[in-house]
Amino acid sequence: MRLQRRRVDSGNRRIVDGYDTQLRTLFLRNVLYPVIDFAHSLPVAVMLFLGGLCYVHGIVTLGAVVAATLYMRQLVEPLDIALQWMEQLQQSGASLARLEGIGQVATAEPTGGTEPADDRLVATAVHYTYCGRHDVLLDVDLAVRPGERLAIVGPSGAGKSTLGRLLAGTDAPRSGTVTLGGVALDALPAGELRRRVVLVTQEHHVLLGSLRDNLAIAAPTADDDALLDALDAVEAHWVRELPAGLDTELGVHAHVLDAAAAQQLALARVVLVDPHTLILDEATAMLDPTTARQAERSLAAVLHGRTVIAIAHRLQTAQDADRIAVIDGGRITEAGSHRELVAAGGGYADLWRTWHGGPDLT
């Protein structure tokens, strides 16, 4: 994305900022601790001096001076504790401010109200830009029929992933609309939208908590049988071997899932959500070939009976699709079945020839 220089510069700036901040706090600590130590000793010294004067003038007894000085000394510890509390209060205040910041970022949820009439996903005259300089998607029109398997192909940087995110409602177009059953995606509350359309990428997350917790975020009311069925559907048979079954704690210091199992867990969540449309963006691209084969088998089970929009980096996936949309330079340049596009001899035929490595275009 030609952002290398800017990223390196901003990284360097942050390192310098971090270093300066560390130095400043080190300086403050070097001032604070001697001041605290001095503040602890000062009252004792004052007490000894004044008590000494009073004793010399016969106003108080020596025992009274010693007792008062010792009491003063004993005050140091509770004061220390009070100071530590102050510090903890400040740290808590900073943490709370961060949480409040997150709360402020969340934008107002659409109230919904309008139900999508059907499962048709339609993009009309969609334009999208990342940094306002130039559109990476230009005038994209695309209608996905319910139950259709659509592959989106095109050269690197053409805008495939961007289109996938817009169709999933993760981002909103700069102009134009993306609708589901006649309702704009950004007018649907996030929960409603996710029940209908899910984007599956190569990023899968295992959260700290039990296997049950990890699945229940997709379906909080599902019972154990439903959770186990979802795992079975994606061939995650390893769950039967876990010592505590669904109660097994997952995470770095507990049971660690390998990449394929983590992907299966993510897919089991999709089964539980049961959306009618799935958008796949490189879902298995980062896995090694053996793991990828296993994950693809799991994926096949999830895709059954749903509308699938696959951003296809391997043209084999495109070949099996009902329809292929070719995207180049942010525009849809061709659309049709594999045979139609190969016969048309356009950009897709070129891609296929390059991929296939020979003149045989079937």
Q: What is 123-191 written as a DSSP string? A: EEEEEEESSSSSEEEEEEEEEE-TT-EEEEE-STTSSHHHHHHHHHTSS--SEEEEEETTEEGGGS-HH
The 8-class DSSP code of residue 283 comes to T
Residues 313-352 that bind ligand ATP (CB under 6 A): none
173 binding ligand ATP? (CB under 6 A): no
Of 144, 151, 162, 260, which lies in the binding site for ligand ATP, with binding defined by CB under 6 A? 162
Residue from 121, 136, 140, 236 touching ligand ATP (CB under 6 A): that is 136
Q: Residue 128 or 257: which CB sits closer to ligand ATP?
A: 128
- Shortest reach from residue 11's CB to ligand ATP, in Å: 17
Residue among 154 and 176 whose Cβ is closer to ligand ATP: 154
User: Minimal CA–CA distance to 270: which of 256, 283, 259?
Assistant: 283
| 177 DSSP β-pair partners | 124
Binding map of ligand ATP across residues 75-114, x = CB under 6 A, - = no contact: ----------------------------------------
Length of the chain: 362
The answer to the question of residue 160 lying near ligand ATP (CB under 6 A) is: yes
Comparing CB distances to ligand ATP, the nearer of 112 and 155 is 155
Tell which one of 51, 159, 173, 275 touches ligand ATP (CB under 6 A): 159
Nearest residue to 279 (alpha-carbon basis) of 117, 177, 170: 170
Helix (H, G, I), strand (E, B) or coil at 326: strand
List the beta bridge partners of residue 184.
179
Q: Which of 124, 161, 170, 333 binds ligand ATP (CB under 6 A)?
A: 161
Radius of gyration of the chain (CA): 32
For residue 154, state whether it binds ligand ATP (rule: CB under 6 A): yes
Interface ranges with ligand ATP (CB under 6 A): 1, 130-131, 136, 154, 156-162
